[in-house]
Amino acid sequence: MTTVHAVIDTPLGGLTLIARDGSLAAMHFDGGKHPPKEFGERADLPLFAEAQRQFEEYFERRRTEFDLPLAPRGKPFQLQVWELLKEIPYGETRTYGDLARRLGDVNYSQAVGAANGQNPLSVIVPCHRVIGADGSLTGYAGGLDRKRYLLALEEPAAVDAGRLF
């Protein structure tokens, strides 16, 4: 199994992309929590060029979903949560309780939060779209400033136009 990485620039700082056997396995913002344990050698892959193109389109508000081969590693419950994250539409949010209910038990809220925090593919698997039950911005491995930026970026144009600052 070959693991390689590349670093791309984003409006939120450097983003390390990690691929394993031709699929994106993880990504990590400079200064974020939970850095990957394995980066592998630096490489120049078509996958990384495509990811960079898609991130540029996303940050220019020309892309609302990513279309990249993904291969995150996690426990079965984490994988279930990450699949639910991919179903949250661009420009919308859900609460941890919403996701727990989708999994069959509102008491899973904390476990959902823990799985959300371990998401190795943030932005692509949009864990930033999960907020607290009271609407508060809770936890984001890339930092709350990045979460705030991503949510503002994805705001519907009508909401964004109504802002005073």
- Structure token pair of residue 102: 């989708």
Q: List the beta bridge partners of residue 7.
A: 16
| Catalytically annotated residues | 127
Q: Assess whether pLDDT exceeds 90 at residue 161.
A: no
Do 80 and 104 touch, CB atoms closer than 8 A? Answer: no
End-to-end CA distance of the chain: 48
For 1-50, what is each residue's pLDDT tens digit? 689 999 999 999 999 999 999 999 999 988 777 677 778 898 999 999 99
3-class SS of residue 50: helix
Q: Assess whether pLDDT exceeds 60 at residue 159.
A: no
Do 103 and 84 touch, CB atoms closer than 8 A? Answer: yes
Q: How many residues are given for the chain?
A: 165
Q: Please state, in angstroms and rounded to a whole number, the distance separating the CA atoms of residues 24 and 69.
A: 6
Q: List the beta bridge partners of residue 149.
A: none
Model pTM? 0.88
- Structure token pair of residue 78: 């984490």
Q: Does residue 141 or residue 103 have the better pLDDT?
A: 103
For the chain, give the longest Cα–Cα distance: 51
Q: Please state, in angstroms and rounded to a whole number, the distance separating the CA atoms of residues 127 and 144.
A: 12
